[in-house]
Amino acid sequence: MKENTPTEPKASLNFLEQIITNDLASKSTGGKVHTRFPPEPNGYLHIGHAKSICLNFGLAQKFNGKCNLRFDDTNPTREEQEYVDSIKEDVRWLGFDWEDREYFASDYFEQLYEFAVYLVKKGKAYVCAMTAEEISAHRGTPAIPGKESPWRNRGVEENLDLLDRMRKGEFPDGSHVLRAKIDMGSPNMHMRDPVMYRIMHAHHHRTGDNWCIYPMYDWAHGQSDYIEGITHSICTLEFEVHRPLYEWFLNALDLPHLKPRQIEFARLNLTYTVMSKRKLLSLVQDKQVKGWDDPRMPTISGLRRRGYTPASIRMFADRVGVAKRENVIEVGLLEHCIREDLNKNAPRAMAVLNPVKLIIDNYPEGQVEEMPAVINPELPENGTRMVPFSRTLYIEREDFMENPPKKFFRLAPGAEVRLKYAYIIRCEHVVKDADGEISEIHCTYFPETRSGLPSDKKVKGTLHWVCPEHALEAEVRIYDRLFSVPEPEEVEDGQDFRMHLNPDSLKVVKAWVEPYVGDATAGQHYQFERNGYYVIDPDSKTGHLVFNRTVPLRDSWTKVEKNK
């Protein structure tokens, strides 16, 4: 089937594009742009990472450069192959290609070690035997300068020997570290002799037991960027204070080639959402959600299962923009992006989620008509599907009111509406059960108003419907926002963000859907007309359809009602 692919030109440049444009003009990066997306494989990617992925790969695309995928795997105690796999799947799913440039910081361990030896020989690094607690105590606070380590002025030969023995495994964890010799009095904490290597006798997912010393982030990252020929190393704001250190290492190494430059941007925040890995993990562990790919999670795998498309997420990343100021994006924008994509591309179907029986008294018993229905009015060339119509139907319970308010365009005693793709009907009377609940709505139909026939008869409302005889039963999972307040992380001391969990974030209902969706497979999107966008969940099996609600249609009627 044909699909709509939205593209939009962008006039002005964001601050990253401006920097790159200038660098290109001045040839300061050799006329090249080379970025990287550097996840640590210790968890699942979320929508915030998607922003970074779109930024890094997008910038490379826009300026005819390249973008690497690099796993920042310098801490063997937290990282696993499982995460490497999920990250690759997510980046690929988002639509980006790192070609053969799949790298791991752990590939550079040997090179990094040689760099470290160089710094030791230059007198710019030393082995320190203080405990973690002592180092911490000596470091001071942001407002109070630190004190120098007693080991700071050891000779080069001794440092070399100690470093060598650290690598060989002669020392237990925590007994020594290699530190850069910078300035314990620096107002920047990160410059107070930062740790470069720590001893960890741990098995690494890629290097196995080859190493028992592992580089710290600050020591590994910039040098990895350099090794890969990265020109613009784009990261989030919290690394801003690390930049002097990033540059210090690169300078101290007296490197022959072009040095990368670190540029920071403000991370994504979303209303009604938490984004920190720790908090997301706690939701999984406490079983508040069913896993990392629960459709309520802001993880890429969760959004995918929810029914978000790669195009919608890319569009979102484009529209939120990039800057250096803290921001909180309204989820409404994300929802708008998926609606825009799905409106243009998702086939329509009729589904009734909360049925009430409707009987057309003057329609021949036993007769079934196949009504042609447009698959997608935005893509008329995709044709029509046939929907069976009969004397007894299901319509949505909320589409009928015995005592309707004014401007209620739906069904009510004496009122006329169109059944979409079929006939105009008039409600004659209702039948109630013992509890006073409406069990049948009786109507008459006007044969000359059959869809497609010329008829002057006009009605204000159009209802969707389903024929119980032919409809398929389905499980529908109606998802809503996971949190009930815009900023769930804003809690008072002693309170927990989980107090803001939305108790109604998932409702499971039984529904009836028209037959033509029957042979669709997991991941297929639909618009249930007048209701919302849905996607077939991987749990779906033949004979047991499962749909997830991605997002409801905009609804100005219930909005009007609510505002009363």
* Both tokens assigned to 411: 């069904």
Minimum distance between the CB of residue 409 and RNA, rounded to whole angstroms? Answer: 4
Q: Which is nearer to RNA, 60 or 337 (CB)?
A: 337
Measured CA distances, 496 to 292, 480, 490 (Å) = 20, 21, 9
Minimum distance between the CB of residue 217 and RNA, rounded to whole angstroms? Answer: 3
The set of residues, in sequence order, having a beta carbon less than 8 Å from that of 481 and lying 6+ positions away, is 272, 273, 296, 331, 502, 505
- Closest by alpha carbon to 38, among 235, 325, 263, 247? 235
Task: Kindly tell me the sign of the dihedral angle through the C-alpha atoms of 118, 120, 123, 124.
Answer: positive
Q: Which is nearer to RNA, 30 or 174 (CB)?
A: 174
Minimum distance between the CB of residue 174 and RNA, rounded to whole angstroms? Answer: 4
Measured CA distances, 206 to 79, 224, 563 (Å) = 10, 16, 58
Q: Which residue reads 């795998």 in tokens?
A: 301
Q: Which is nearer to RNA, 38 or 302 (CB)?
A: 38
User: For residue 440, how many other CB atoms are within 10 A of its CB?
Assistant: 15
Q: Which is nearer to RNA, 160 or 195 (CB)?
A: 195
Minimum distance between the CB of residue 295 and RNA, rounded to whole angstroms? Answer: 21
User: For residue 428, how many other CB atoms are within 10 A of its CB?
Assistant: 15
Question: Is 206 a residue of the active site?
Answer: no
Q: Which of 139, 267, 450, 498 is an active site residue?
A: 267
- CA pair distance 384, 400, nearest whole angstrom: 28
Tell me the one-letter amino acid at 274.
Answer: V
What Rg, from alpha-carbon coordinates, does the chain have? Answer: 31
Minimum distance between the CB of residue 192 and RNA, rounded to whole angstroms? Answer: 8
Q: Which of 32, 147, 152, 277 is an active site residue?
A: 277
Question: Is 396 a residue of the active site?
Answer: no
Collapsed DSSP state (helix, strand, coil) of residue 547? strand
Q: Which is nearer to RNA, 467 or 506 (CB)?
A: 467
Q: Which is nearer to RNA, 101 or 139 (CB)?
A: 139
Task: Kindly tell me the sign of the dihedral angle through the C-alpha atoms of 485, 489, 490, 495.
Answer: positive
Question: Is 561 a residue of the active site?
Answer: no
- CA pair distance 165, 148, nearest whole angstrom: 23
Minimum distance between the CB of residue 287 and RNA, rounded to whole angstroms? Answer: 24
Helix (H) or strand (E) holding 60: helix 47-62
Annotated catalytic sites, by residue? Answer: 40, 267, 277
